[in-house]
Amino acid sequence: MNIVFFLSAFLFFIGANSSQFPIDEATVAEIQHAFSQNKLTSRELLDHYLNKIDFLNPVLKSVLEVNPDARAQAEAADRERELAGGKALGELHGIPVLLKDSIGTKDRLNTTAGSFALLGSVVPRDAKVVHRLRNAGAVILGKTSLTEWYGSRSMKIPHGWCARGGQALNPYGKGGDPCGSSSGSAISVAANMAAVSLGTETDGSILCPADYNSVVGIKPTVGLTSRAGVIPISPRQDTIGPICRTVSDAVYVLDAIVGFDPMDSEATKVGSQFIPSGGYKQFLKRDGLTGKRLGIVRHPFSDLYANESTAIQSFEHHVKLLRKSGATIVDNLQISNVAAILNPYESGELVAMIAEFKLTINDYLKNLIQSPVRSLADIIAFNNNHPELENMKEYGQDAFLLSEQTEGIGEAEKAAISMMENLSRHGFEEMMKTYNLDAMVTLGTGAETVLAIGGYPAISVPAGYEGNGEPFGILFSGLKGTEPKLIEIAYAYEQATMVRRPPPLLSDLSSL
């Protein structure tokens, strides 16, 4: 073992042992309990995560920036707690949160979607979801890596790669593939580098990294959370949601970030009507599966796994458990036209999205206080002018070029959008209604596009590991606004199985 490695392992121990409370894998509720018992301070919690980031990030590359003001925020939270004299200040008070690097913060952190083209840009204000997190007392720990520009630059960009951070790695294996595009958020909470995190999803970008990195992802109904201040792709499909180690942690974050926002009024006006009074934590019920009707869809999502794999066997085991826990199982369902839905050329998703991206990114860039680039054309020129910085030779920017050629929402785009609406209505929606289902249950996150084109919500929960330690998840999805039911189902399932374990590679490291 070389001396540098030894020293960093040693420092890691100092960090890990500065309080009696075992921080790794602790839930937000356990952390709040430790705060209230004076067994832990926000400052100690934050320092633990900063040490973990120092130690692990050179390998995992999931964090792009650490907030220079995070210590002051943690200390302020500790003072507020002391002044409140033990009165509860809310679940997220004093809790360090990492944000995907596309979620705007008006502070010393940059907001860049992983690209050098946006380094030095100044946002007009915090994204609404960040504003809400700050109001809830959360500590903004830093920004996480992502597939650069959400993969909207080129299909050749690998999951979890961005110019600013390099290739982020899945700590469980899968050849390091963390899935995308919220790779850094999922890796960081999986490796206990933060308490909780936020990701964004247009088509799979929360659910797939959660699945690959053995954590919980909630993809909210489009419009439940405001997208204002977040680098956009498609207002039809974009949504902001939590990636955390447990369902309850994710629900606490969801409660903090949902709500109407005049800056994203059309979508959040509809979305906010779904928010139950008293919020979402009331649905964290151990008996949440009782009386639920669950539709099991295997084909074509289970086909992504080998017949003899643990994933396939575990899925059958989990379906039995769902039934034993009081759910009615409606088995072997199919979604009409699923092949067309999953094919972005056939469904219209690609045609609509490349036009929407140009419109919305240009709008985002125009509203920045300061920026090296003011339009998609500027970004394309920036990449051409900085080919090495942006690894243009290997990855290019084909998708950007296609997008730049579009001219708004014309006949072709309108037809594409109607096509997706029709596919959703006669596909997922019809299946859910015909069988009167509370949720669809699928293995892995292959169903993400079904949910993406319709704006539907879903929760991915860890479901097991292959013999080589590679994780897989189970997905519970439903019609718009059905988060209360999905939370009941996902939480009851999680509590009955408790599958998640921290990455083995990292427990090996910390036992050195």
Ligand X SMILES: *[C@@H]1O[C@H](CO)[C@@H](O)[C@H](O)[C@H]1NC(C)=O
Active-site residue list: 100, 181, 205
Residue 108 burial (CB < 10 Å; 0-12/13-18/19+)?
exposed
Among 71, 156, 386, 426, which residue sits at the site for ligand X (rule: CB under 6 A)? Answer: 426
CB-CB contact of 239 with 220 (8 Å)? yes
Q: Read off the amino acid at residue 448.
A: E
Question: Per CB under 6 A, which region of 70-78, 106-114, 289-297, 441-449 contacts ligand X?
Answer: 106-114
3-state secondary structure of 89: coil
Identify which of residues 13 and 116 has a Cβ nearer to ligand X in the complex: 116
**Of residues 319-348, which lie at the interface with ligand X (CB under 6 A)?**
337
Verify binding: residue 162, ligand X, rule CB under 6 A.
no
Locate all alpha helices (DSSP H) within 150-289, ordered by sequence: 183-190, 207-212, 247-257, 265-272
**Of residues 54-73, which lie at the interface with ligand X (CB under 6 A)?**
65, 68
Identify which of residues 455 and 484 has a Cβ nearer to ligand X in the complex: 455
Verify binding: residue 309, ligand X, rule CB under 6 A.
no
The encoded tokens of residue 300 equal 């074509």
Shortest distance (Å) from residue 161 CB to ligand X: 19
Verify binding: residue 124, ligand X, rule CB under 6 A.
no
Question: Per CB under 6 A, which region of 108-116, 249-257, 365-373, 444-452 contacts ligand X?
Answer: 108-116
The encoded tokens of residue 52 equal 């973990």
Among 6, 17, 38, 120, which residue sits at the site for ligand X (rule: CB under 6 A)? Answer: 120
Q: Of 34, 128, 109, give the one whose Cα is nearest residue 66.
A: 109
**Of residues 209-238, which lie at the interface with ligand X (CB under 6 A)?**
none
CB atoms < 10 A from the CB of 84, how many? 11
Among 4, 83, 85, 108, which residue sits at the site for ligand X (rule: CB under 6 A)? Answer: 108
Identify which of residues 142 and 484 has a Cβ nearer to ligand X in the complex: 142
Among 32, 62, 73, 110, which residue sits at the site for ligand X (rule: CB under 6 A)? Answer: 110
Instruction: Find the radius of gyration of the CA atoms of the chain.
Output: 22
Shortest distance (Å) from residue 348 CB to ligand X: 10
Kindly write out the interface string for residues 391-410 of this chain, putting x where it contacts ligand X by CB under 6 A and - elsewhere: --------------------
Among 40, 109, 256, 487, which residue sits at the site for ligand X (rule: CB under 6 A)? Answer: 109
Is beta strand 293-296 parallel, antiparallel or unpaired with respect to 166-167?
Answer: unpaired
Q: How many helical (H) and strand (E) elements, i.e. helices and strands, does the chain have? A: 21, 13
Identify which of residues 110 and 406 has a Cβ nearer to ligand X in the complex: 110
Verify binding: residue 436, ligand X, rule CB under 6 A.
no
Which helix (H) or strand (E) segment holds residue 477: the answer is strand 471-477
The angle, 0 to 180 degrees and rounded to 10, between the axes of the packed helices 42-60 and 70-83 is 150
Measured CA to CA, the distance from residue 453 to residue 417 in angstroms comes to: 9
The encoded tokens of residue 204 equal 């799979």
Residue 59, Cα to own-chain centre: how many angstroms? Answer: 21
In this structure, what are the phi and psi dihedrals at residue 173, rounded to the nearest 5 degrees? 120, -130
Residues that bind ligand X (rule: CB under 6 A) add up to a total of: 12
Verify binding: residue 306, ligand X, rule CB under 6 A.
yes
Identify which of residues 71 and 281 has a Cβ nearer to ligand X in the complex: 71
Q: Which residues bind ligand X (CB under 6 A)?
A: 65, 68, 108-110, 119-120, 306-307, 337, 422, 426
